[in-house]
Amino acid sequence: MDMCYSLPKLRGLYLSGNQLSGKIPTSLGKCGRLEEISLSFNEFMGSIPRGIGSLSVLEVLYLGSNNLEGEIPQTLFNLSSLRNFELGSNNLGGILPADMCYSLPRLQVINLSQNQLKGEIPPSLSNCGELQVLGLSINEFIGRIPSGIGNLSGIEKIYLGGNNLMGTIPSSFGNLSALKTLYLEKNKIQGNIPKELGHLSELQYLSLASNILTGSVPEAIFNISNLQFIVLADNHLSGNLPSSIGTSLPQLEELLIGGNYLSGIIPASISNITKLTRLDLSYNLLTGFVPKDLGNLRSLQHLGFGNNQLSGEYSTSELGFLTSLSNCKFLRNLWIQDNPLKGTLPNSLGNLSLSLQSINASACQFKGVIPAGIGNLTNLIELGLGDNDLTGMIPTTLGQLKKLQRLYIAGNRIHGSVPNGIGHLANLVYLFLSSNQLSGLVPSSLWSLNRLLVVNLSSNFLTGDLPVEVGSMKTITKLDLSQNQFSGHIPSTMGQLGGLVELSLSKNRLQGPIPREFGNLLSLESLDLSWNNLSGAIPRSLEALVSLKYLNVSFNKLEGEIPDKGPFANFTTESFISNAGLCGAPRFQIIECEKDASGQSRNATSFLLKCILIPVVAAMVFVAFVVLIRRRRSKSKAPAQVNSFHLGKLRRISHQELIYATNYFGEDNMIGTGSLGMVHRGVLSDGSIVAVKVFNLEFQGAFKSFDAECEIMRNIQHRNLVKIISSCSILNFKALVLEYMPNGSLEKWLYSHNYCLNLVQRLNIMIDVASALEYLHHDFSVNPVVHCDLKPNNVLLDEEMVARLGDFGISKLLTETESMEQTRTLGTIGYMAPEYGSEGIVSTRGDVYSYGIMMMETFARKKPTDEMFGGEVTLRSWVESLAGRVMEVVDGNLVRREDQHFGIKESCLRSIMALALECTTESPRDRIDMKEVVVRLKKIRIKLLVI
């Protein structure tokens, strides 16, 4: 029955924050008495019904945070009673009518931010005389900012950032006496900052960052006593900071003016702005001495003045400002790089805040030694002291920095050995010790650090053989050991480094063959083995390295034919010079290979006999031995079936049917890839759609992963777990047939431009995942199941957007007596619990940690491997540091300050992030369990759904 016929006197429709989907009913236009419509934060699609424009008494229209598209109906611009017009966070396009405010004279709030609106901002906005909030950010508006907006005497907030606006800031904005927020960042605005803005005595938030503004900042702006945030970064501003800056801004919390052309000195009075939490003056032309009383800023969390021309103190080699910063107990980031500070690092550096997470003091012309006291900063995540003139040895106290992820001390004159303690920094991701005078053996424990992504030890005097443990660095992407004195053979275990992109072993004393296992390094783009004593042939297995763009094996003792397929078709003679025994195509400017009667290169014949034939014969003997043993054992066992179905009475699906279902596993049907294999969409003979997960049997552990997933998924039944339909296992093929999830993964919905999840949808997904984990950890059986690889890519969404947890390839079924177990199986970097990544300890609490990281990512829309966390801070520490300002953390698409019920939504997001932090505490025993997580998330959802 039509709602408006049933409720003819309906005055308000309040259904925001639900999971309503489909199209907004066109019949709403018949509810002639409606004064308020609130349908925000749902899943409505399609266009806005034109009939809503016939509701002549409508005052409030909330349709934000849906999936609405198309143009805004012109009929809506005839609602003369409308006060609140909120359509933000949709996919609406088109232009705003030129006479918008002639038709809507009573508008108080306009929120159309985060859409795809185009054209110019209508000058008629000056006729919305009652307007208090104007939100047009993150659209595609062009042209100038209408100067008539400066006539809106009652306006309090202006959001025009994230467009393509040009021209200048209207000087008429200086007339907006009630203005509290002016947000114009990320446009193409030029010219000077109008001095008239200094008249805005009520202004609290000023953001003009990322434009093309020039000239100096009007001094009057620094006299607005109510200002809390000044954000002018990344412009072309010049001039000096006023000497009185510290006396007129008592409320200022953030001063961000980096990325400009400011000159002169940092005024000493800046130390009097006691509420400052963030001060960033980086990337300017500032000179003079760093104020020595910065320690007065007791609330300071971030201090950045890197990339200037600042000096230390007068007539002393000590750096007093560093000593004074020991008073800043909340300091998390200290970025002072690329300044001629000179002097020595004081041992008082170790007295800085225990909250300190990032120090970047590279390229500061420091002399002396690295102070041992730095080991006191136990929460340090990034330490950058590179490109200075430091001497002495690496202090052994660095081994105390257990949270350290990035260590950069390259480009100094540090000598001695690499301390054993560095090999125990289990969280280390980036290690740069290059261009020093280090000598001796590399600690064997370093090669076993399983979170390392980049290691550069080049240009030192390191010695010894490369151990087989090098193959333990499973996550490594770049490894540079060049220009040292390493000797012995290249270990074949390097072929296990499947993620390796760049490898340089040049200018060492390595000998023996190039390992054939290098053909497994399918991600490799650059390989430099030049200037060694390598011998033998270039393995033809390297032809499989389709990503290889650079190869240098020159100045060795290689022999035989140069391969000619795969990437070798693009290499030139420079890759192979000074190897007397090589032969090949004329384009390499070397002798052509002579062929014997069989067509085999004579140059390679003896090598083949020695290095291939003998191992093949040995392998044949070994295989024969194994077959004999198995035959003997089979007498007492039933013969194995060619097609084995591990899951009881589930439907039998043959290998041949899967081939037909997936169109021969063609690329067109591929819906996902991973280290364990590929997933294809398939249509079975009965018409049902399935997902076929084919395991890559060349991947070490694929058989074990297949068996583990079958074992775990044999009996589990839960609405939030991906259902398994069948499995297929023959000699060289293993696959799982799974329920098809038409809406793809959570990762797709978070990071694809064509998809969007609102606040309630994200919360529902996290409740679904938590419910799945609660079942696995507590309700499945006596023995808990640990998933081990929680991440958005393993959370799939069905047709109803219900989340299903999948990919149990490395999961663990704990025995009755164990709560933790040692294993070498790895999850995914960024999501692994500290005890899992460092020691291989598996427990349900490790899943809780990964879940907490994923929850932060889901609501912040930031990957834990995002560039902003590249060794400076982690996703967790970033969220924790901004716990009191959650709106700076969460995805801007979720909620805006001008939204209705903003306070409730902000409170819910704060509770969500607090819960995520409780899931990710350092100590496993301090983490809450998934039962409690489910209860608390459901309480938060109730709070959201009642608004």
* Residue in the block written with tokens 């998390």: 332
**Pairing of β 733-739 and β 724-730:** antiparallel
Query: What's the gap between Cα 840 and its chain centre?
Result: 23
Phi, psi angles (nearest 5°) of residue 938: -65, -35
**Rounded Cα–Cα distance for residues 613 and 578 (Å):** 28
* Residue in the block written with tokens 């097609």: 643
Q: Where are any strands of DSSP class E within 120-251?
A: 133-135, 157-159, 181-183, 205-207, 214-216, 229-231, 236-238
**Rounded Cα–Cα distance for residues 758 and 65 (Å):** 6
The helix-helix angle for 902-919 and 844-860 (nearest 10°) equals 150
The helix-helix angle for 759-774 and 844-860 (nearest 10°) equals 170
**Rounded Cα–Cα distance for residues 855 and 763 (Å):** 9
Phi, psi angles (nearest 5°) of residue 916: -60, -40
Tell me, what amino acid is at 146?
P
Sequence-separated (6 or more) residues with CB below 8 Å from residue 809: 676, 695, 705, 706, 708, 709, 789
Catalytic residue, chosen from 387, 480, 768, 789, is: 789
3-state SS class at 50: helix
CB 53 within 8 A of CB 75: yes
The CA-atom distances, in angstroms, between 837 and each of 33, 449, 788 are 61, 9, 11
The CA-atom distances, in angstroms, between 234 and each of 32, 186, 281, 324, 910 are 51, 9, 11, 29, 30
CA quadruple 34, 35, 36, 37: dihedral sign: positive
Sequence-separated (6 or more) residues with CB below 8 Å from residue 302: 277, 278, 279, 280, 331, 332, 333, 335
Active site residue 789: yes
Instruction: Give me the count of residues in the chain.
Output: 947
3-state SS, 189-223, equals CCCCCCHHHHHCCCCCEEECCCCCCEEECCHHHHH
Contacts of 223-227 spanning 24+ positions with Cβ under 8 A: 223/198, 223/248, 224/198, 224/200, 224/248, 224/249, 225/201, 225/249, 225/250, 225/251, 226/201, 226/202, 226/251, 227/203, 227/251, 227/252
Query: What's the gap between Cα 870 and its chain centre?
Result: 9
CA quadruple 713, 717, 721, 726: dihedral sign: positive
Q: Which of 253, 243, 175, 257 is nearest to 209 (CA)?
A: 257
DSSP-derived secondary structure letter, 611: I
Q: Which of 637, 657, 654, 636 is nearest to 645 (CA)?
A: 654
* Residue in the block written with tokens 């083995």: 529
User: Taking the chain, what is the end-to-end CA distance rounded to the nearest angstrom?
Assistant: 26
**Pairing of β 733-739 and β 689-695:** antiparallel
Q: Which H or E run includes 618? A: helix 614-634
The residues carrying an active-site annotation are: 789
